A = this chain, B = another copy of it.
Amino acid sequence: MTDRHSGLDRFYSVIPAGGVGSRLWPLSRADAPKFLHDLTGSGHTLLRDTWDRLAPLSGPNRIMVVTGRAHRAAVESQLPELKDPNVVLESEPKDSTAAIGLAAAILLNREPDVIIGSFAADHVIGDQPRFRRAVIEAVAAADAGYISLIGITPTEPAVGFGYIHYGDAMTIDGAPHAMMVDRFVEKPDLATAESYLADGRYLWNASMFISRADVLLAQLGEAEPELLAGLTRLAEAWDTPRRGAVVDQVWPGLKKIAIDYTVAEPAAVAGRTVVIPGDFAWDDVGDFASIAKLHSGGRKSDLAILGEGARVLADSSTGVVISQGKRLISLIGVTDIVVVDTDDALLVTTTHNAQRVKAVVDALKLSGRNDVL
């Protein structure tokens, strides 16, 4: 990367590594969240793949990971290059505004002109060069003062993602494809998703935010001044011996709210949000149907098998088997099946019911079965 890419020398990657991934239970657990699994068969965890994707952009010394205290050891084992000042541990989860806002505030204290990009720890991206080109444009737009997003050009009428509707093309140096964001829309029903696909001006919201840290925090302060004040207090103490005391004091009171509502949407209303269309394969691997699709390459006739020691004997069966043990798994005449075989829990469902897995997790929570969550 060279200086002809505006702002890239001041770019810092932030990886919020938080969510458990309830729809991937019993594979994903509180103590083994989604980002710590290899769901693509790459041989690496999603977190490691995310790191390897960002290192060429910001350099390995400029990647910050925000994660829960319980995951520190696992994260550091996955990312031996991760420097201690780049580990931000949350004492309890406070949603994405707190996670990304705190990273922005800490980095702003260290580098007043820093540009940060936040990328989920548990997404899958197919085409690295195209991803990098989109980020480079987004950084250029951020350098010009915008909150930049990367939106994915839809390839099907997906109902599991939010969408970004874009308006006019912008004229930003180094960001020739930047479009003004018109509005955000929540996960649609199928008919609506089909109309979005036909419309051509809707992109999947891939939760990739790129912005100058000062711009992001100023935007946040307009919507949530108290939350900004808390994050600022934390950041000021962060690189000092007072960190622990201030965390204990401030953290519990931080408002839990997604950054979409505190930054991206208000900025869009104010005409400060742009989106770079990303023309690459992307998935949030949100449920087992998504895993089945990732592994089958779209072929309906396939049975995807994940697991190092997986031993599967299948006859006339399609879907996905995820095995964490060495048991022999035999499938006969089951189509679009999902079998997740772990040490203490077994899930059997179908790809069509993949979104309903969360309800099981909720039921287990209600019945106090935290031992398997």
A-side interface residues toward B, CB under 8 Å?
Answer: 26, 313, 315, 327-334, 337, 339, 341, 343-350, 352-353, 356-357, 359-360, 363-364, 369, 372
Contacts and interface: CB of A to CB of B under 8 A. Distances in A.
A343 B330 CA distance: 13
Contacts of A359: 315, 332
Given A313-B360, A315-B356, A356-B315, A332 B346 contact: no
A348 B339 contact: yes
Given A313-B360, A315-B359, A364-B313, A332 B347 contact: yes
Contacts of A343: 327
Contacts of A347: 330-332
Contact of A369 (B26, B327, B328, B346): B328
A54 B357 CA distance: 48
What number of copies of this chain does the assembly contain? 2
Nearest to A346: B329
B353 A333 contact: yes
A82 B27 CA distance: 49
Contact of A328 (B328, B331, B344, B353): B344
B356 A333 contact: yes
Given A356-B315, A360-B313, A327 B344 contact: yes
A320 to B, nearest CB: 12
A98 to B, nearest CB: 32
A346 B321 CA distance: 12
Contacts of A341: 346
Contacts of A332: 347-350, 353, 356-357, 359-360
30 contacts: A313-B360, A313-B364, A315-B356, A327-B343, A328-B344, A328-B364, A328-B372, A329-B346, A329-B348, A330-B345, A330-B347, A330-B348, A330-B349, A330-B360, A331-B347, A331-B349, A332-B347, A332-B348, A332-B349, A332-B350, A332-B353, A333-B349, A333-B353, A333-B356, A334-B337, A334-B348, A334-B349, A339-B346, A339-B348, A341-B346
A240 to B, nearest CB: 46
Contacts of A331: 347-349
